[in-house]
Amino acid sequence: MSFESLNLNPSILKALTEAGYTQPTPIQAQAIPAAIEGRDLLASAQTGTGKTAAFMLPSLHRIATPSESRSRGPRVLVLTPTRELATQVNDAARKYGKFMRARTVSIVGGMPYPVQNKLLSQPVDILVATPGRLIDHMERGRIDFSRLEVLVLDEADRMLDMGFIDDVERIAAATPSTRQTLLFSATLDGVIGTLAERLLNNPQRIEVATAQTRHAQIEQKLHFADNLEHKHKLLHHILADIELRQAIVFTATKRDADALAEDLYAEGHKAAALHGDMNQGARNRTLTKLRHGDIRVLVATDVAARGIDVNGITHVINFDLPKVAEDYVHRIGRTGRAGNTGVAISFASHADRRHLFSIERLTGQRLQAEVIPGLEPKQRPAKPAHKKPFSGKPRTGNGESHRSGNRSANGNSTRNGNSNSTGNNGNRHWYDAKPSGAKRRGNFA
């Protein structure tokens, strides 16, 4: 299948050809025709699968036909959970609409109100916004939705996780009932399903590369760390790998991101932090340096890194495990993009067992524990209460009924063999690590 076969506007096809895109990804091949037909969409796709183009290309195709309304308000509204993702979507709209007379505006927090007021006073075709800042402008009467044709909810699950559900529903209620709604989310059940019932009209459901789809292009590794000092030693070893071109290191807090980035910079690494307390200008400058290769190690928090799309990211390192399993999927999705391979490495303490089980249930994959010679953990994790081996499929239950045993070893607990993430090559699961004294082989790759 080619983009030409999707019957997109010639101006869009010209932009795609210039960008080097020839064939649509699976999510694009399914979503674009349905969206062009005017169907509401309820779609699930992982980051890095081309979902931005899946909703932006049909939206641009729609506005290629002039509107009969004289309103200056947007014809397409895209809501995103973070400023970074809004910037990514805005850039994509401009790239794909390069040969069209479509005016795109991004309205996010952290930008001066006078600048945004000026942007909104002019005609707008595509408006990309975060919910909070958009509500501010709505309350001031600066947004006219009378000619809105398409509402896109990008990463809707994350918006709900961040507490934007009321804002999203309020914004949707202010738009015409005749609008087309395209909802993209990592999961389509639970609260998302309930929200879809209220906002979407007979949607076409599309599921491509869900959380349980194996990240075949991403090698996933796990290292147990006894304490913070142990984590730092593991990180320094990994950053010395010549195959690591650029990495994103995730921390639990903004303060930790600043501290770790400062330590790495002082040690000679081209490192910088990215988090929500930085103003928009500083965040944009940091992302520009990352894209240009001036930053090798970006230390970030979950919210700040949402939407980062840099093909040069070869490694993602979870210095701290995410508290929510879905965030693990979004984190490792920063690497292995656009057909490239990537490596995702997680550090975990034995207090993180519940989080590890939650991640495995969501992804349907085993995390194989590895050991770096000379940096072996002093303890191994306790075995879970159940005796059945991991089947490679999501487990049921809440994942908290595991034995809290306190068995320990004197280090050197690891698996044998290579780092194949499927676990079908005889490697041991992380809670079946070998006791002290067992021989180990292999260095970090």
Is the pLDDT at 16 greater than 80? The verdict is yes
* CATH class of the 3-207 domain in this structure: alpha beta
* Helix (H) or strand (E) segment spanning residue 249: strand 247-250
Instruction: Give span(s): CATH 3.40.50.300, the chain.
Output: 3-207, 218-381+409-432
Pairwise pLDDT comparison (213 vs 11), residue with the higher score: 11
160 against 441, higher pLDDT: 160
Q: Looking at domain 218-381+409-432, which CATH architecture does it have?
A: 3-Layer(aba) Sandwich (3.40)
Instruction: Please give the pLDDT value at position 409.
Output: 36
Indicate if the pLDDT at residue 430 is higher than 90: no
Grade residue 110 by pLDDT with cuts at 50, 70 and 90: confident
Q: How many residues does the chain have?
A: 445
State both tokens at 326: 């879905």
User: Which of the two residues, 193 and 47, has the higher pLDDT score?
Assistant: 193
Average pLDDT over residues 124-151: 95
Is the pLDDT score of 388 beyond 90?
Answer: no
* CA neighbor of 175 nearest in space, from 33, 32, 40, 27: 40
pLDDT of residue 148: 96
Number of H helices, E strands in the chain: 15, 13
The pLDDT score that the predictor gives to residue 190 is 77
Look at residue 400 in the predicted model and tell me its pLDDT: 36
- DSSP secondary structure letter of residue 49: S
Maximum mean pLDDT: which of 12-26, 116-130, 403-417, 421-435: 116-130
3-state secondary structure of 321: coil
- Please count the other Cβ atoms lying within 10 Å of the Cβ belonging to residue 265: 16
**Nearest to 211, CA basis, from 186, 185, 183:** 186
Q: Average of pLDDT values for 32-59?
A: 90
In the structure, what pLDDT confidence band is assigned to residue 379 with cuts at 50, 70 and 90? Answer: confident
At residue 402, the pLDDT reads: 38
**Cα gap 4→259, rounded to integer Å:** 50
Residue 434 pLDDT exceeds 50: no
Q: Tokens 């932006």 label which residue?
A: 56
The answer on pLDDT for 438 being more than 70 is: no
Give the model's pLDDT for residue 337. Answer: 77
Q: Quick one: pLDDT at residue 304?
A: 65
Edge-first strand listing for the sheet containing 204-207:
104-107, 126-129, 76-79, 150-153, 180-185, 41-44, 204-207
**What is the model's pLDDT at position 36?**
96
Confidence of residue 432 (pLDDT cuts 50, 70, 90): low
Average pLDDT for the chain: 82
Residue 248 pLDDT exceeds 60 = yes
Strand ranges, E, within 89-167:
104-107, 126-129, 150-153
Give the pLDDT of residue 426: 39
Confidence of residue 146 (pLDDT cuts 50, 70, 90): very high
The radius of gyration of the chain's CA atoms, rounded to the nearest angstrom, is: 23
For the stretch 306-338, pLDDT in tens is 667 788 899 999 999 998 887 888 888 888 876
Tell me: pLDDT of 424 over 60: no
pLDDT of residue 34: 95
Inter-CA distances, 102 with 36, 57, 62, 99, 202, Å: 18, 12, 11, 9, 29
The pLDDT score that the predictor gives to residue 70 is: 83
Measured CA to CA, the distance from residue 417 to residue 426 in angstroms comes to 8
pLDDT at res. 207: 85
Q: What angle do CA 68, 70, 75 make, to 5 degrees?
A: 70
What DSSP string describes 158-186?
Answer: HHHHTT-HHHHHHHHHTS-TT-EEEEEES
Mean pLDDT, range 170-193, rounded to an integer: 90
Q: What is the mean pLDDT of residues 187-197?
A: 82
Beta bridge partners of 298: 248, 272
